[in-house]
Amino acid sequence: MALSTEQALALLLILNSTHLTAADCPPLDRVAVSGSAGGRAVLPCSYTPTPGQDVAVTWYAYPDQGGPVLLIKSKTPSAPIPAQWSGRVKLSDEVSSGNASLLISELRLEDTRDYMCDVWINGICVTHRNVKLTVQACSAPDYVAVSGSAGGRAVLPCSYTPTPGQDVAVRWYAYPDQGGPVLLIESKTPSAPIPAQWSGRVKLSDEVSSGNGSLLISELRLEDTGDYTCDMWTNGICVTHRNVNLTVEGKYNKHVLVGPPKRDSATSRTTTTTTPTTRPSATPTTRPSATQKTSPCPTQQGNAAAQRRSYCMKTL
């Protein structure tokens, strides 16, 4: 059967394009990798090298719509890369020794998608792999503990070193006793209302644009004790994710500290008639801050320690 030039051309195009989409490749294998926004990810791909062979590695990305787009090709390393990945993707330096991995840096949320690696040796497709990349919104949090005294102030540290021209934003969240996190303050909307407990007492560093995202809390209250979360973003990508555990310790006025509070003494006298060694120490005056909200008084009364605990709670 004779083909017209047009038909032949069409057939050639079909053959060519099926070649391109790797119909001659081994079955697709699938791998999943994940990374954090701002970080980097290695999309693994490999083959078994033998000396003298002609190797061609091709990586594709699957956009939200449409077929795969060519990302990078080992044979034409200087070919333009689609804008989304421009300047951020790089083939392994060890392609000739079998490492055909793709390195994506400065990960963005929108890099979350499927990628495909094809390796051709002497015109035969030997590796055909799908890599599913998931980019998480932020890195896993790091933890910092900060303490302060009631009535004083505390700086909750959070920072990032931006490169010049980057747009830096910071958000702080607090965790009230009930319910999930609440937004405390956000650098982009400085005049937004602040939850009542902290209203008028929290302030962001003046140097957010240069990467200091610390939060200043003044006139500390015992109930400010708890967890706070800082997220910093540059150009819309979360780069710092930190958990600050703030502990506010009770600090008593010097006049009160001259002796045990009067009610303490009274309770002490009534409870120490049978255990003369029980005495109010520094502990009862500082302990209430940590226990008053959560710990009921112990019910058992049988030894001096239990009585001391009981005494301690009751003086609240």
Ligand X SMILES: *[C@@H]1O[C@H](CO)[C@@H](O)[C@H](O)[C@H]1NC(C)=O
- Identified binder of ligand X from the candidate list 36, 58, 127, 212, rule CB under 6 A: 212
The answer to whether residue 313 forms part of the interface with ligand X (CB under 6 A) is: no
Q: What phi and psi, each to the nearest 5 degrees, are found at residue 105?
A: -115, 175
Among 245, 268, 271, 272, binds ligand X (CB under 6 A): 245
187 sits near ligand X (criterion: CB under 6 A): no
Residue span binding ligand X (CB under 6 A) among the ranges 93-101, 229-237, 253-261, 292-300: 93-101
205 or 315: CB nearest ligand X: 205
Beta strand spans in the chain (E):
29-36, 41-43, 55-61, 69-73, 89-91, 102-104, 113-121, 124-136, 142-149, 154-156, 168-174, 182-186, 202-204, 215-217, 226-234, 237-249
Nearer to ligand X, 127 or 267 (CB): 127
Annotate each residue in 40-59 with x if it binds ligand X (CB under 6 A) or - if it does not, as one string.
--x-----------------
Residue 92 binds to ligand X (criterion: CB under 6 A) = yes
For residue 224, give every residue at least 6 positions away whose Cβ sits within 8 Å of its Cβ, in sequence order, or none: 148, 154, 197, 198, 217, 246, 248
CB 88 within 8 A of CB 61: no
User: Is residue 289 near ligand X by the rule CB under 6 A?
Assistant: no
Establish if 33 lies at the interface with ligand X (CB under 6 A).
no
- Candidates 79-87, 107-115, 208-216, 250-258; binding stretch for ligand X (CB under 6 A): 208-216
**Identity of the amino acid at 12:** L
Query: Residue 227, interface with ligand X (CB under 6 A)?
Result: yes
Residue burial 90-104, b: 16+ Cβ < 10 Å; e: rest: bbbeebeebbbbbeb
Interface residue list for ligand X (CB under 6 A): 42, 92-94, 99, 101, 103, 155, 205, 207, 212, 214, 216, 227, 245, 247
